[in-house]
């Protein structure tokens, strides 16, 4: 089925058409389930690890469906096939993000549209300032998890293409159908956000290692 037909089905489902809604739920269930299952099995710890995993998968999968359709399908309507992401990939990233959020904070986080990035533009932090950023592998792992949680599916997709897969700039422009200026702006913002999250983690890491009496001082 092409993207145009999928968008038609999506619109019909959001308008309450039961046929389209049933089709969509059947088509999306496997990808949501597998991302949720991965997230839970690979990262849950402590109390959460003792719960019935099947029940957890069911609950979280249903929760993600409700997030997709909340507020007149705000999240689903933000899917733009011309940006080079299939609906399944898009929904998979939403599922990963939500699962990461639940595992970190123990609760569902409301949908955010890259608020950190908007804030980031206003602050316009310098890129790669004089202060050095040091990062252990554990901090970098933590940063990857935070990025999954903080970024919208499009932001996460772009971060993946630009920094993790290190694709040439022109290739990212081609794959996403975005203008070079837009990709350039995203690249700067994503880099600043990643740096900021890393610095936060480094500071909290140092804070945790400092003796208690120093912290009281």
Partner 1 sequence: MNDDLWLRELAQVNREMEAEERGRLDDRWDRLSHGGLSPEEESELRALAETSEEARQAWEAFRPLGADFQARVVRSIQSEITAAKPLAKPLPFRRRPSRIAGWSAAAAAVAAVLILFLRTPAAPLPPYSMEKISGVSTMRGDEPAAAVPLLAPGDRFQTILRPETTASRTGQLEAQIFLSRGPDLRRLEVQRDIDPNGSVQVKGTIDRDIQAGSWILWAVVGRRGDLPDPDDLRRLSARAPVWRKDWVAVPREIRIKPRDLPP
Residues that bind partner 1 in the complex, under the rule CB under 8 A: 1, 9, 14, 16-23, 25-26, 29-31, 33-34, 36-38, 40-42, 53-54, 56-58, 61-62, 65-66, 69-72, 127-128, 132-135, 137, 140-141, 143-144, 163-166, 191, 194-195, 198
Q: Which is nearer to partner 1, 35 or 154 (CB)?
A: 35
Question: What minimum distance in Å lies between the beta carbon of 133 and partner 1?
Answer: 5
Query: CA 54 → CA 25, 59, 106, 202, distances in Å?
Result: 19, 9, 17, 36
Helix pair 53-77, 18-43: axis angle to 10 deg: 130
Q: Which is nearer to partner 1, 5 or 216 (CB)?
A: 5
**Which residues does 30 contact at the CB level (< 8 Å), separation at least 6?**
none
Tell me how far apart the alpha carbons of residues 23 and 25 are, in angstroms, rounded to a whole number: 6
Q: Determine contact, residues 36/61, Cβ cutoff 8 Å.
A: yes
Of 141, 157, 139, give the one whose Cα is nearest residue 42.
Answer: 141
Question: What minimum distance in Å lies between the beta carbon of 119 and partner 1?
Answer: 20
CB atoms within 10 A of CB 159: 22
Question: What minimum distance in Å lies between the beta carbon of 73 and partner 1?
Answer: 9
Q: Which is nearer to partner 1, 108 or 191 (CB)?
A: 191
Q: Which is nearer to partner 1, 54 or 216 (CB)?
A: 54
Q: Which is nearer to partner 1, 41 or 118 (CB)?
A: 41
Question: What minimum distance in Å lies between the beta carbon of 181 and partner 1?
Answer: 21
Question: What minimum distance in Å lies between the beta carbon of 63 and partner 1?
Answer: 10
**Which residues does 60 contact at the CB level (< 8 Å), separation at least 6?**
36, 40, 98, 99, 102
């Amino acid at each position: 089925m092409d993207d145009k037909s999928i968008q038609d089905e999506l619109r019909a489902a959001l308008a309450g058409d039961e046929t389209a809604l049933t089709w969509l739920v059947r088509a999306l269930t496997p990808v949501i389930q597998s991302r949720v299952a991965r997230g839970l099995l690979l990262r849950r710890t402590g109390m959460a690890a003792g719960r019935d995993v099947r029940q957890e998968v069911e609950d979280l999968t249903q929760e993600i469906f409700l997030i997709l359709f909340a507020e007149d399908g705000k999240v689903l309507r933000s899917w733009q096939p011309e940006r080079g992401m299939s609906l399944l990939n898009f929904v998979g990233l939403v599922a990963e993000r939500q699962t990461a959020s639940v595992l970190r904070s123990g609760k569902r986080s409301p949908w955010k549209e890259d608020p950190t990035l908007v804030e980031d533009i206003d602050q316009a932090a310098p890129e790669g300032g004089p202060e050095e950023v040091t990062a252990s592998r554990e901090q970098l792992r933590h940063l990857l998890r935070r990025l999954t949680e903080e970024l919208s599916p499009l932001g996460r997709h772009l971060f993946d293409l630009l920094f993790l897969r290190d694709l040439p700039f022109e290739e990212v422009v081609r794959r996403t159908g975005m203008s070079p200026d837009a990709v350039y702006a995203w690249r700067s913002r994503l880099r600043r956000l990643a740096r900021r999250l890393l610095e936060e983690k480094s500071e909290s890491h140092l804070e945790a290692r400092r003796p208690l009496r120093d912290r009281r001082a």
